[in-house]
Structure 1
């Protein structure tokens, strides 16, 4: 057999072995292995990082595959995960496509910033950079020094990759709220008694906390807009509860309504100094587009909805019907 034939056969065997390896499942130390590929990482570093993370192969093999594929320069930074059965071809294809492994954190309409932070602290895979930071320090880090954190973050579901900072999620939620607030303010009625987007945000947070059913939201907004217009105290329990903070034990007492705080809308006229929760899109729009109504009062019917009244006499009758004698309610 000629030397040329031997070389050709050897080349075929090597190529066959490479083809077999590239398309064979990688051995993993655990059912899944994840890695964050940092921007600027070289193919050689990425191969080594995958092995360090739990891919059981030689890093030089992975590196050679990346290089010989002709796609090593197309690898994208991001968070990735492979599971049992993944081949070297699958691994490279995932990074070239940028098919990141995502986790999700859901923020609910009506949550406070404290509740928001608690949820982020529980989220798997996030870097908890804000754990020891005050609310004020967080806002400074986000470029909003001196702006209260409450109400400034939009409730939504946010996707993230492993190793993402909780500050990055906060920044996205902050920008999302500003975008939604700007859009709502641009759509506002011209005769509102509120003068700025910030006041709209505060009012929206109250509407969010007072609304039991979707259909009532614009009507509840109308009540508070009407009260603001005539200088009547808002007299809304959620603001009082917010002002009590950790002192609130789940039972709002008459003494609480009489004890003055910056958030007590029974003892002070106008809006409280900050929002009291994270309002959703519907509450933002309702705050600046109230229903056409002369109502100044509302009372819970007991089924989640509310009864609205234009006069105190009507309101007192509604209170008697739905609260003091609930068995007579229709």
Structure 2
């Protein structure tokens, strides 16, 4: 009997080919399942911080420990196949059904939750430092000063000028990622303020009784803390500038409040008005020694472009402001408009 060796040979080749295909395709299938099959994150999802400076292996380990990467080795292989791109720092939210491939793409493109430090016009340095410490998660607080000398220490570190950081941080929103240095954010805010101040100073109105940009910054902080709406700030700035020209004290309540610091109880008493401080503009003629807060752009513009006015006094009732050129007229307006909640400049 003749044996059909040709058919047996074909069968054997098919078996070997099938075996090789299984060997080749099984890892690919496993890779596809692990990388592209979504995993489910129970509500409210998972939040994973990848800090600035974290290496790739460290980032993968963080994600794995947080339960976001069940197959870290496959994730690393996918990262290598993608060309070893930089994995961006950020605060990453994973909700619902998310695959490891999706996580990889998010980290490559930095698709993280935005984190922001917000500096509000009128905040002083003490409040900003408090916000950084208590309400700005994931910041690197190393080197951030505390205590009464914080303003001087920041200025010595290049954040501020004239030996103080008070007034030098431009109010705005500053984005950061986990691990960002708090000092680097303050540095950005200082650079913004310095650039804006120098630009506005170069275009200032003529004849201002201000010697340099720093004096403009100080007065802008006083105007800011007066709390007037932007539409009134240029008029209030004119009042203070006129007082400086005539050698009159500014007599601004916010400077007294700043002088009192932690001792301020929410309202000024007659005793408070005599607090022995260089910041007390009822006792001392001229500008305070430093700004008393962070002025916004509108108050800076108001000081450097005040309205044309001879007024020396104002009173305020809510958003209604009344100005006068003489003390006699000022007293008459107090009698006419002043309510228990009104503020005065006398």
Please indicate, yes or no, whether the TM-score normalized by the shorter chain is above 0.5: yes
SS of the equivalent of 2:338 reads: helix
Give runs of aligned pairs for residues 118-137 of structure 1, distance below 5 A. 118-122=130-134, 123-129=136-142, 130=144, 132=146, 134-135=149-150, 136-137=152-153
Q: 1:139 corresponds to which residue? A: 155
Displacement of 1:212: 2.2
Supply the RMSD in Å over aligned alpha carbons: 2.5
Cα 1:75–1:281, aligned 2, differ >3 Å: closer, same or farther? same
Displacement of 1:23: 1.3
Give runs of aligned pairs for residues 1-330 of structure 1, distance below 5 A. 1-26=14-39, 31-36=45-50, 38-39=52-53, 41=55, 43-68=56-81, 70-72=82-84, 74-84=85-95, 85-122=97-134, 123-129=136-142, 130=144, 132=146, 134-135=149-150, 136-142=152-158, 144=160, 147-300=163-316, 302-323=317-338
Residues 145-187 of structure 1, C-alpha deviations (whole Å, 9 max, x = no match): 7621211111222222122222222222222211221222122
Q: Which runs of 5+ in 2 are unaligned?
A: 1-13, 342-346
Displacement of 1:19: 1.9
SS of the equivalent of 1:2 reads: helix
189-198 or 237-246, which deviates more: 237-246
Q: CA contact under 8 A between 2:45 and 2:94: conserved in structure 1?
A: yes
Displacement of 1:143: 5.2
Cα distance between partner residues in 2 of 1:146 and 1:287: 20
Cα distance between partner residues in 1 of 2:127 and 2:195: 22
SS of the equivalent of 1:254 reads: coil
Task: Give the number of equivalent residue pairs.
Answer: 322
Cα distance between partner residues in 2 of 1:193 and 1:208: 19
Cα distance between partner residues in 2 of 1:211 and 1:48: 50
Residues 201-228 of structure 1, C-alpha deviations (whole Å, 9 max, x = no match): 0000011011422221100000011111
193-202 or 92-101, which deviates more: 92-101
SS of the equivalent of 1:314 reads: helix
Q: Which runs of 5+ in 1 are unaligned?
A: none
Cα 1:290–1:269, aligned 2, differ >3 Å: closer, same or farther? same
Cα distance between partner residues in 2 of 1:238 and 1:114: 15
SS of the equivalent of 1:105 reads: strand
Cα distance between partner residues in 2 of 1:137 and 1:114: 13
SS of the equivalent of 2:98 reads: coil
Q: CA contact under 8 A between 1:185 and 1:288: conserved in structure 2?
A: yes
Displacement of 1:250: 2.0
Cα distance between partner residues in 2 of 1:324 and 1:39: 58
194-203 or 171-180, which deviates more: 171-180
Cα distance between partner residues in 2 of 1:325 and 1:249: 18
Q: CA contact under 8 A between 1:35 and 1:53: conserved in structure 2?
A: no
166-175 or 142-151, which deviates more: 142-151
Tell which structure's C-alpha radius of gyration is larger.
2
- TM-score using structure 1 length: 0.88
Residues 217-245 of structure 1, C-alpha deviations (whole Å, 9 max, x = no match): 10000001111112111111111121122
Displacement of 1:26: 4.1
Cα 1:260–1:314, aligned 2, differ >3 Å: closer, same or farther? same
Cα 1:172–1:187, aligned 2, differ >3 Å: closer, same or farther? same
Cα 1:44–1:246, aligned 2, differ >3 Å: closer, same or farther? closer
